[in-house]
Amino acid sequence: MKFILFLLPTLPATLAERKKRRPIASHSEYWQAMFAEVVELAQLAEEVGFDAIAFPEHHLHSEGFEIGGPPEFLLYVAMHTKRIKIGPIGYVLPGWDPLRLAITTAWLDQLTQGRSFVGLARGYQQRWLDQMAQKVHISATTSDHSTLDDTNRRAFEEVYQVLKLAWADEPFRFRGEFFQYPYPYDTGTTWPAHAWTRDYGAPGEVDAQGQIQKLFVVPKPYQKPHPPLFQAFSNSAETIRWCAREQISPMILLSRPEQLRHLAQIYAEEAGRAGRWLAVGQNIGVLRQIYFADSVRAADRLAEQGVVGVGYKRFWGHFGFWDAFRFPEDEIEYPASTTRLPSEEWTTERMRRARYIYAGSVDAVREGMDELVESANPEWFAWLFDQGLLPRQELRKQLEIFGTHILPRYRQHEEKAAETPSSRKTARVSKKKG
């Protein structure tokens, strides 16, 4: 198993402090405190053996929670570490100009000499995505199969197509629903320095009349053909299949063992249809939370002070995130097709029952991790961390316990599995069966 420390990140402050100094994100001292805290945690994560550190992309969060990780911040963290990989999970593609994102990601990969990865996301927060995607008339959405949802997905996939073309080693032309290259596609653009480009640029960029015919985007990524790709956060079978076909690692939020096993099998089967034979769990990831404490009650107090109490209960719950922790019996009172789980169902106990939170003693956390390995054996484990919400010393303590007592056990499991192929069940679904 490989390990990702997932930070939101968040300006360090209590809820009382956020209210007293609202909007707290207007105060530079809190930003500086966050920079220092994130770097300290990234360095500690690297020291105890984490493989990567990741951030989401979000903007305009005046409350100082989940303020996102722009490329500049990724580079800043990378420059303060030595080995650990850095990246977003993920860039909200409908809010980006594809060429700018291709260039931005390649610069980061070059500057870090291949220590970057690229995460992809569709976007669900209207406050900022609707502003940034207004020129292509795209809005944030939930996965509800509505017209808005369908348009967002088409834009997402088109930006992804352009990214792949821009990262490749050949000049390209592209005409899609939202973007066209070169622009304007039909009439073309005259390039006065066409003789210079024909002599020294990429072959095919311009013709003898000086018209731009293709684009050649530079720099190219340091990693070939591009950095590793992740998808945030995947719950639907449709998305899992798409990720399998595109060789993208889906980060799965659904946590009940039978659900996760089902999605892991779907991924392996779809990859097999595409000609990639994978073990169940290979190339997929999960997002979880961990709280070490002397008792479950003490762990619950940490969760309530941290991401569970602040993130899920005060913020993400209003976007339907608690529906990831449904049980079959919820259908009786809260049918998924019409009703979200109400706030009275937003409990830490529900998360524990759904195997999303592993809490308590080291042995209790190991029990949860063992069950995870048994159900799906994911290649990637992302720990959604409480940076900015719990005291820094508590954060360090949690990471150090994990690095000492948990991480080595499951990295050894991966190494043993690699040595003994029969220890992992391989997907054997042929193209013919598919």
- Average pLDDT score over residue span 22-44: 98
Band the pLDDT of 427: cuts 50, 70, 90: very low
Whole-model pTM: value is: 0.93
Share of the chain above pLDDT 70, in %: 94
Beta-bridge mates of residue 381:
3, 286
Which amino acid type is present at position 39? V
Distance CA 17, CA 68 (A): 20
Task: Name which of 381, 367, 368 is nearest 414 in CA terms.
Answer: 381
**pLDDT tens digits for range 292-348:** 999 999 999 999 999 999 999 999 999 999 999 999 999 999 999 999 999 999 999
Alpha-carbon distances of 72 from 69, 76, 227, 284, 344, rounded to whole Å:
8, 6, 17, 27, 40
Nearest-5° Cα angle at 86, 83 to 88? 170
Look at residue 134 in the predicted model and tell me its pLDDT: 84
Look at residue 404 in the predicted model and tell me its pLDDT: 98
Instruction: Indicate whether 422 pLDDT > 50.
Output: no
| Tokens read off for 178 | 């939202």
Band the pLDDT of 146: cuts 50, 70, 90: confident
Residue 2 parent element (H or E)? strand 2-6
Instruction: Indicate whether 20 pLDDT > 80.
Output: yes
Look at residue 366 in the predicted model and tell me its pLDDT: 98
Look at residue 188 in the predicted model and tell me its pLDDT: 81
Look at residue 425 in the predicted model and tell me its pLDDT: 45
Look at residue 414 in the predicted model and tell me its pLDDT: 59
Band the pLDDT of 152: cuts 50, 70, 90: confident
Look at residue 135 in the predicted model and tell me its pLDDT: 76
Band the pLDDT of 177: cuts 50, 70, 90: very high
Residue 37 and residue 55 in contact, taking contact as beta carbons nearer than 8 Å: no
Band the pLDDT of 423: cuts 50, 70, 90: very low
Band the pLDDT of 11: cuts 50, 70, 90: very high
Look at residue 174 in the predicted model and tell me its pLDDT: 97
Strands 380-384 and 2-6: parallel
Instruction: Indicate whether 67 pLDDT > 70.
Output: yes
- Average pLDDT score over residue span 258-273: 97
Which residues have C-beta within 8 Å of that of residue 222, sequence separation ≥ 6? 106, 109, 110, 112, 113, 114
**pLDDT tens digits for range 386-413:** 999 999 999 999 999 999 999 999 986 6
Mean pLDDT of the chain, nearest integer: 93
- Average pLDDT score over residue span 104-117: 98
Tokens 């939170």, residue?
357
Higher pLDDT, residue 424 or 61: 61
Tell me, letter by letter, the H, E, C secondary structure of 123-187.
Answer: CCCHHHHHHHCHHHCCCCCCCCCCHHHHHHHHHHHHHHHHHHHHHCCCCECEECCCCEECCCCCC
Higher pLDDT, residue 372 or 151: 372
Which residues have C-beta within 8 Å of that of residue 122, sequence separation ≥ 6? 92, 93, 94, 141, 143, 152, 153, 156
Look at residue 430 in the predicted model and tell me its pLDDT: 39
Instruction: Indicate whether 128 pLDDT > 90.
Output: no
Look at residue 68 in the predicted model and tell me its pLDDT: 86
Look at residue 357 in the predicted model and tell me its pLDDT: 98
340 secondary structure, DSSP code: P
Domains contained in the chain, CATH given: 2-294+350-423 (3.20.20.30)
3-state secondary structure of 71: helix
Least confident range from 107-111, 236-240, 265-269: namely 236-240
Look at residue 418 in the predicted model and tell me its pLDDT: 53
